[in-house]
Chain A
Amino acid sequence: MKFVGKSVKRVDGVKKVTGTLKYVDDIKLSRMLYAAVKRSPHAHANIISINVEKARALKGVKEIITGDQFERRGGLYLEDKNFLAVGKARYRGEGVAAVCAETEEIAQNAVDLIEVEYEVLPAVTNAKEGMKPEAPLVHPDLGDYHWAPVFFPKPGTNISNHYKLRKGDAPEIFKEAEFVVENNFYVPHVQHVPIETHTAIAQMDADGYLTVWASCQSPYAVRQALSAAFDIPLNKLRVLSPAVGGGFGSKAGTTLEGIIIPFAMHAKGRPVKLTYSRQDEFENAYVRQGLHAAIKTAVNKEGKILAVQNEFIWDGGAYTEYGVNIAKAAGYASAGPYDIDNVWTDSYCVYTNHPVGGPYRGFGMSEIHFGIEQNLDIIAEKLGITPVEIRKINGMKPGGTTGTGEVVTVSGLMECLDQVVEDIKFYERSEPSSPTKVRGKGIACGWKAPSMPNNAASSAIIKLNEDGTAHLLVSAQDIGQGSDTVMTQIAAEVLSISPEKITIKTGDTDHTPYEWQTVASRITYSAGRAVYEACHDAMDQLLDLSQIKLGIFKRDLELRDGYVVSKIYPDKKVSISELALGLNFEDGSAIHGPIIGRGSFIPPNIRNADKKTGLGDHPVVFWTYGVQGVEVEVDLETGQTKVLKVASCFDVGRVVNPQLLEGQIEGAIVQGLGTALFEELMLKEGKVLNPSFVDYKIPTADDMPEMIIKFVENPEETGPFGARGVAEPAMVPSAPAIANAIYDATGIRLNTMPMTAEKVLAAMQAK
């Protein structure tokens, strides 16, 4: 292959390194208005009254809205959310009113003048407490809400989804098992911290046609949500996402867009802008949900896992329109990448008065694997076998069955495990850098499937230009992962023209074709497949015309370096530039017209699982498997952990761009390291105590470990050139591998993240 498998340079690289790429916040439109939001100081409170008179009197204030003007609820999977609070505020920071003004400063000053009277209610600040019958209800009207039929809310409680998986007969196995191990784990809330905060601009013209510029991962999903919320037909609503400065899931749905649209509707054509501060990002965008996990495992003395029973309690926050799917995804993945006959899982999404939980890179998976992979090491030690052996015995191999009962045809897990054991030199010890430090190694496996609706669709258009160049149109968003480059490479490969001859356009619902969402590690696979199909469609048209032109059967023609060439007589050829606008004949007539290739894709045969048992023969599109090994050095005096080395190996099906892929894996390792050692949204009575980088620490360049990154390529049957997704899975084993390495070094087992110096030291002293 010419372009697939090569480290083609990023197509957006020059603009990014020169700082000239325009993000939404860089857009300056004439006569722009600015919005600001009045936020609840209480985690849970009825709104008694809102007095906007003083704010309205301020010079420069254009309009003030309150939640009760927009009572219609929305949401992706469960319609439980309003853009501004209606009736009561359910988290500290929830918007209760918004102001539109001539300047940001006036808007902010007006917000300060809004007087809100609250009746403070008892707050739910712990998901486990929130499940109890006596807990205050965050959504007393849950029974009236709409939800997708694959979710199971329990009206009259705070449970917004109870996912069940029942494979085999776990309770029976536990009665007779030789060894039963039970462990509890807690994973706190964390935040995505993209470099670019959320921002949006809305403008409505005199025809009622609305344009929204949003820093979002999924322009079509935003268009759909806004259309439903504001009754605007899709042909009168355009969403543009010109560039995104990092998403990690936080920009997957809609957050702030809905706040400015009511203003735009009344602003007589003037655009309205709202940009979140970093503090907003921590408090009022999405956060990763907290998780209480209880894992019970039955195992025989040879180390074969006979049964697992899991209880996952998710701290979903005030709204779980997205979070219900996190509980579901964690539930169907709850066996981990292991072949286990008996699985019993209850995964609960619970409303609390905490910031809104939402999708975060690999949602559900990093959280549950923190427990699964530590639990496995605990079992291995109990049985006197190595962490590698227990994973070899139970790890998923082709022919095995997943937790949902699906027979696995492709899994490179064992190859990945062997590679990582070799690269991290798992069985060797290295000398610590000082007598007061100790070193250890840990390993963890991980798996993940794209957590998306069965019919999540992609499409692509390729237009050939008369000089033999092309435009590729998709709505897959390059949020830093490099999808613009990968899509271009796939098109270049099929059309056999160099990537420099292709310009990719994305993120404009009026001009680029449908993409469900840029989430779920699905873009290379799904959008890539649509590009592949579109280019094959264009190729087909080119070959049709070439048959006539060259008088050679189509089956004997192929695309090669900008030409349609005879496979048998390579000197017989016609350039694609000559055919781009159709085929011209000697008499001056022409046929066909411009070559436009069209590609559409939905993953084939994904069917709903059984509602009662959660079992299904093909409930997800594919599983991505991988392994990470880690070496750490722990300071016995301070408790500080330094991650020295990480070896990673994933089965990606097919490497499309080695350099970009390595970048993705490196980013995932470092993000995993951050959550393992530093990151936690500290919450007290619903208040975020550390909503800034002063006290919410993420890794710096100094914290980077040495990284050894390898891949296994067992092709994905329906993926373009065999590729499958890996962006999220790559982060899944990072934190538990570090936890296992800390145990190896110190003999202490931490059941909560982050594993801060203070916690490690306290645990060592308590031992």
Chain B
Amino acid sequence: MMKPFEYFRPTSLKEALALLNTYGEEATLLNGGTDLIVRMREGHSSPKAVIDIKHIEMLRKIKVTDSEITIGACVLLNDVGSHPVIRERVPFLAQAALSVGSKQVRNRATCIGNICNASPLADTATPLLALDAEVEIYGEAGVKRIPLKDFFVFVRKTVLKQNEIVTSISFNTNKDAKGIFEKMSRRKEVDLSTVCGTVFRGKDGYRVSMGAVAPTPIRLYKTEAYLDAHDLTEDVIQSACEVAVNEVSPISDIRASKAYRQELVHLILKHALSEWL
């Protein structure tokens, strides 16, 4: 049962930060709330102060330039998935965004929330990792950018400090680059990934990322290096899949066994690479 809490609705980042400083560890940010409210109802989280950032106007925008896309912290997953430029330049990110939960959930849930929640199987994490995305963080010292790959620390843990706010995530786009996202789940709709992954090929080489195969969504650097060093053939694909399977460290749980997850890693990589053969 949910414990009582104080609810705040700041309209500026400065105001939000002041509240975080006031309440310290007892404060939590509320964005879409699709994770937080469930956790609060089940008693896993009992904050004294809930700071709703959805009304900070600047966090609700998607900014597009010729070479970069920036997704604000409060942009909904459905809005990421339906954005024409995102669909055109990075369709695999749109696809990943639309694979989260149900349409109703995606009308509340945000892309940044999906990232900050730091689930090992965050669906939007693998395309953003593959895009070498950067997270913009606002704090006492002002604004800083860190690579997404350095953002995740462990299951549900990020480098984010208690008095910091992720304001957006950005990545470069290049029309020659291609990416493929695939999600494997027990049920096609409204399910968590058993394994999800993105395979990306740009002018500087391959980037491969997988979810639900380690404590955080991960890049598969050895697999990338192997692919970068070889021309794509069926044998290379097979070998790359073997490298990938050895590079991940999935666990067995009620959703799938370790062996099945390894099987799916193999399949996701094979499916993507075969498209480019």
- Name A's B-contacting residues (CB within 8 A): 104-105, 108, 637-638, 678, 682, 689-690, 694-695, 697, 699-703, 756-758, 761-762
Contacts and interface: CB of A to CB of B under 8 A. Distances in A.
Contacts of B257: 758
Interface stretch (B71-79, B132-140, B155-163, B189-197): B189-197
Contact of B188 (A104, A694, A702): A702
B175 interface: no
B1 interface: yes
B226 interface: no
Contact of B187 (A108, A678, A682, A761): A678
B260 interface: yes
Contacts of A682: 254
B58 interface: no
Interface string B237-258: 0000000000000000011110
Contact of A761 (B188, B254, B260): B260
A695 B263 contact: no
A697 B186 contact: yes
A604 to B, nearest CB: 47
Contacts of A689: 254
A758 B264 CA distance: 10
B263 A761 contact: yes
B184 interface: yes
A690 B186 CA distance: 14
A756 B192 CA distance: 15
B187 A690 contact: no
Contacts of A105: 1
Nearest to B257: A758
Contact of B189 (A104, A638, A702): A702
B105 interface: no
B264 A638 contact: yes
Chain A interface SS verdict (over half): loop
Contact of A703 (B187, B254, B255): B187
B267 A638 contact: yes
Contact of B186 (A104, A702, A756): A756
Contacts of A695: 254-255
A397 to B, nearest CB: 40
B256 A758 contact: yes
A104 B1 contact: yes
A756 B186 CA distance: 8
Contact of A700 (B184, B189, B254): B189
Q: Which 9 A-B pairs have the closest CB atoms?
A: A702-B189, A758-B260, A700-B189, A697-B187, A108-B1, A689-B254, A702-B188, A637-B267, A682-B254
B187 A638 contact: no
Contacts of B263: 638, 761
B267 to A, nearest CB: 5
Nearest to A642: B188
Given A104-B1, A695-B254, A697-B186, 14 more contacts: A637-B267, A638-B264, A678-B186, A689-B254, A695-B255, A700-B188, A701-B189, A702-B187, A703-B187, A756-B186, A757-B186, A758-B256, A758-B260, A761-B263
A762 B191 CA distance: 22
Contacts of A701: 189
Nearest to A695: B254
A656 B189 CA distance: 35
Nearest to A103: B1
B192 A694 contact: yes
Contacts of A637: 267
Contacts of B186: 678, 697, 756-757
A167 to B, nearest CB: 42
Interface in B71-116: none
Contacts of A104: 1
Interface of B: 1, 184, 186-192, 254-257, 260, 263-264, 267
Contacts of A700: 187-190
A101 to B, nearest CB: 12
B26 to A, nearest CB: 19
9 contacts: A105-B1, A638-B263, A690-B254, A699-B187, A700-B187, A700-B188, A703-B188, A756-B186, A762-B260
A690 B260 CA distance: 19
Contact of B191 (A108, A697, A756): A697
A490 to B, nearest CB: 39
A196 B92 CA distance: 38
Nearest to B259: A762
A636 to B, nearest CB: 11
A127 B264 CA distance: 34
A534 B1 CA distance: 49
A637 B268 CA distance: 10
B4 to A, nearest CB: 9
A678 B186 CA distance: 8
Contacts of B188: 700, 702-703
Contacts of A703: 187-189
Nearest to B38: A694
A281 to B, nearest CB: 15
Contacts of B254: 682, 689-690, 695
Contacts of A108: 1
Contacts of A702: 187-189
Nearest to B264: A638
Contacts of A690: 254
Nearest to B188: A702
A108 B3 CA distance: 11
Contacts of A699: 187
Nearest to A693: B190
A201 B71 CA distance: 49
Contacts of B184: 638
Contacts of A638: 184, 263-264, 267
A762 B264 CA distance: 13
Contacts of B187: 678, 697, 699-700, 702-703
Of listed B187, B192, B257, residue having the most chain A CB within 10 A: B187
Contacts of B264: 638
A685 to B, nearest CB: 14
Contacts of B256: 758
A589 B260 CA distance: 86
A11 to B, nearest CB: 30
B19 to A, nearest CB: 25
B273 to A, nearest CB: 14
A703 B184 CA distance: 15
Contacts of B189: 700-703
Of listed B1, B189, B190, B256, residue having the most chain A CB within 10 A: B1
A757 B188 CA distance: 12
A637 B192 CA distance: 19
Contacts of A697: 186-187, 191
A622 B254 CA distance: 42
A234 B51 CA distance: 55
B143 to A, nearest CB: 36
Nearest to B186: A697
A686 B142 CA distance: 52
A760 to B, nearest CB: 11
A503 B186 CA distance: 45
A572 B184 CA distance: 73
A295 to B, nearest CB: 29
A762 B254 CA distance: 16
B94 to A, nearest CB: 19
Contacts of B267: 637-638
A695 B188 CA distance: 14
A758 B263 CA distance: 10
Nearest to B187: A697
B42 to A, nearest CB: 9
A749 to B, nearest CB: 20
Contacts of B190: 700
B263 to A, nearest CB: 7
A109 B190 CA distance: 33
A104 B263 CA distance: 47
A117 to B, nearest CB: 24
Contacts of B260: 757-758, 761-762
Contacts of A756: 186
